[in-house]
């Protein structure tokens, strides 16, 4: 009686096929592939639920029409539920900001560092004092603009110049400049 693992000519049969792949290898590959697809099917809903909702995505950028802002005026907007100041500087304010020795500032930035090239007249800053997060005055008509004709935080006495740079008081840094771009000559997209 012939051994069950022998071939017709009497040589022992190999558990591998002609190309060296065993039946067990195929079963392992199929099992691992099925487990991988199952893992993705379980994990994907858990990960996708952590994505921001539609209302959060809508608030992630803000468009502001700046066509009505005259030189010397500022408007208040809102970006991510925080105040945003947009100011069109006069030529005198630009000259005054450029005349300051940047090395003498606590947070050394020039006006060119804080504005877009070719648009030095438009200053966009977050409206939060960098000391404790108060909202400085100076963006609305008739508000106290402080000693440097920019913004003034009455809570603790921080004074900012026309470029939103800290000049006096406890605030450690300049008013933050958010990421923004001009989508046209009259519209700014923040965020």
Q: What are phi and psi of 95, to 5 degrees?
A: -60, -40
Closest by Cα among 103, 101, 102, 123 to 114: 123
Cα 86 from Cα 164, distance rounded (Å) = 11
Domain ranges of the chain: 22-51, 57-190
The model's pTM is 0.66
Q: Architecture of domain 57-190 in CATH?
A: 3-layer Sandwich (2.102)
Distance CA 119, CA 191 (A): 18
Tens of pLDDT along the chain (191 residues) come to 444 555 555 555 555 555 666 888 888 899 999 999 999 999 998 888 888 777 776 667 888 888 888 898 888 888 888 899 999 999 999 999 899 899 888 888 998 898 889 888 999 999 888 888 888 888 888 888 888 888 999 888 899 998 889 999 999 999 999 998 888 888 888 88
Active site residue 28: no
The confidence score (pLDDT) of residue 159 equals: 92
CA distances in angstroms from 97 to 105, 111, 136, 189, listed in the order given: 12, 6, 19, 24
Q: How buried is 34 (Cβ within 10 angstroms: 0-12 exposed, 13-18 middle, 19+ buried)? A: exposed
Distance CA 171, CA 98 (A): 21
Annotated catalytic residue, options 28, 131, 156, 159:
156
Tokens at residue 82, please?
Answer: 């925080």
State the CB neighbour count (10 A cutoff) for residue 140: 11
């Amino acid at each position: 009686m012939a051994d069950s693992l022998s071939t017709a000519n009497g040589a022992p049969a190999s558990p591998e096929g002609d190309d060296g792949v065993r039946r067990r290898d195929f079963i392992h590959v199929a099992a691992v592939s099925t487990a991988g697809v199952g893992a993705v099917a379980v994990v994907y809903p858990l990960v996708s639920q952590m994505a921001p909702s539609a209302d959060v995505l809508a608030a992630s950028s803000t468009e502001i029409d700046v066509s009505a802002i005259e030189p010397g005026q500022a408007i208040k907007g809102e970006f991510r539920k925080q105040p945003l100041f947009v100011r069109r500087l006069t030529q005198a304010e630009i000259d005054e900001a450029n005349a300051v020795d940047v090395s003498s500032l606590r947070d050394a930035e020039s006006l060119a560092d804080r504005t877009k090239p070719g648009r030095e007249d438009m200053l966009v800053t977050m409206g939060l004092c960098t000391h404790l997060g108060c909202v400085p005055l100076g963006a609305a008509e008739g508000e106290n603009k402080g000693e440097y004709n920019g913004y003034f935080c009455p809570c603790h006495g921080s004074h900012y110049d026309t470029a939103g740079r800290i000049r006096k008081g406890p605030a450690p840094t300049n008013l933050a400049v958010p990421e923004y771009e001009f989508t046209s000559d009259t519209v700014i997209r923040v965020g």
